[in-house]
Structure 1
Amino acid sequence: STALSHEINQPLSAVKTYAQNALTYLQRGRQSEAMENIGRISELTDRMAAISKHLRNFARKPNPTFGSTTIAKVIEDALLVVSARLREQSVTVTTDLHDAGLLVRGGPVRLQQVMVNLILNALDAMKGQADPTIAISVAQVENTVQVSVRDNGPGIKTQDLDQIFDPFFTTKEVGQGLGLGLSISYNIIKDFGGTLSAHNSEGGGACFVVSLDQGEGEQVAAQ
């Protein structure tokens, strides 16, 4: 509640200030300054709308029934979504998808959202680093499927590991993120009956692991 209050009240206060300034500029015939302030108001309202959009994910009702989807296809689609960023940062991506036809219990749309978020977080963690690398692997452990996304960045600080999935927790600079991506991803995987965890790899860098029940071929995929 405190974090949400801060996230909303800060831009609201700025909107009021810019609106008052814009009115003053218009009264004085200084239209260019007024237009500049109105533009800033528009940007701030977009920011508040983004917060509201993310929060709707917490209010959704979990779907009690889920189908199956091919995890390799989800990963390939997610990599396609972020391909421009990968090229921009000259990131090397290695994949070990185990079995191209391996199914997991969950919907392709929200699973892709989770994978995109994990990959983008890895990109942010490795920004400015030489030879950035992301390794994505799929492993079958009894009746579960584990998807690991590992980077070679600085890793996660020990004191942050226990709260990294908390809403509004972020280690990014102000304006670079709302701290909702991992929390939303955590709840999506939880809705599917799985888990999302994080740890630091022995060779350095952070590793996020999505664990899901293996799917059944006759099920129809949910979203």
Structure 2
Amino acid sequence: MAKISAQLKFFVHKTSGQLVSVSLPAVIDNSLKIMSARIKESETNIRLQLPKKEIYLLADMVQLEQLHALEGSDNPLIEIAAAEIDEKVNITIRDNGSRIKEIHLDRIFDPFFTTKEEKHGLRLGLSISHRIMEDMEGKLTASNHPDGGAIFNIQLGAANDWPDREAQA
């Protein structure tokens, strides 16, 4: 019940809407720490492909850390890659689990939509993630990788040249 209540509270919660300069490597590191128990329990391998140059993006650090990647298959692998292109930061999260059925791609971010048979939670995770991106003037999309697994693309504004930058870490 506590988990369901927390999901509902977050779903209806409004933030200040203030975007600040955030270090992408710090966000990824903090998110992996938050998820460390689940990562260890599922024996998920994480592969990071980040540029050598530190990337800053315009975001709400607390909300960004709440995005969770999908769980995979027998040898679960999550690949996280990032690049800065045309004043945008593109983050790609790919897993090696099952693909998303094409008929579900248009509905995957709808509240309460799920294809999972598990009866845990309220099925708000992807809907909340989508709303977080919209609140940060970003974009979240889903697709399938040709070799299997799902791909989630996040696009947010870059903050490398943001005036008066005080990056959160």
Give me the TM-score of the superposition, normalised by structure 2: 0.88
Partner of 2:104: 160
1:148 aligns with 2:101: no
| Structure 1 residues 80 and 60: alpha-carbon distance in aligned structure 2, compared to 1, 3 A threshold | closer
Residue type of the partner of 2:128?
I
Aligned mates of 1:88, 1:104 — CA distance in 2 = 31
1:209 shift after superposition: 0.8
Aligned mates of 2:40, 2:10 — CA distance in 1 = 30
**Highest relative contact order (Cα 8 Å, sep 6+), 1 or 2?**
2
> CA RMSD for the aligned pairs?
2.0
Aligned mates of 1:50, 1:83 — CA distance in 2 = 18
Partner of 2:145: 201
Partner of 2:21: 68
Equivalent residues of 1:146, 1:211 under 8 A apart: yes
- Structure 2, gaps ≥5 residues long: none
Q: Report percent identity of matched pairs.
A: 37
Equivalent residues of 1:103, 1:217 under 8 A apart: no
1:170 shift after superposition: 1.4
1:111 aligns with 2:64: yes
Listed one character per residue, the Cα deviations across residues 83-136 of structure 1 (whole Å, up to 9, x for unaligned) are: 22222222211001214521110111110001xx2x2xx21xx2xx33221100
Equivalent residues of 1:63, 1:191 under 8 A apart: no
1:176 aligns with 2:120: yes
Partner of 2:10: 57
Aligned mates of 2:80, 2:7 — CA distance in 1 = 26
Which structure's residues are more often strand, by fraction?
A: 2
1:218 aligns with 2:143: no
- Count of matched residue pairs: 166
Equivalent residues of 2:56, 2:167 under 8 A apart: no
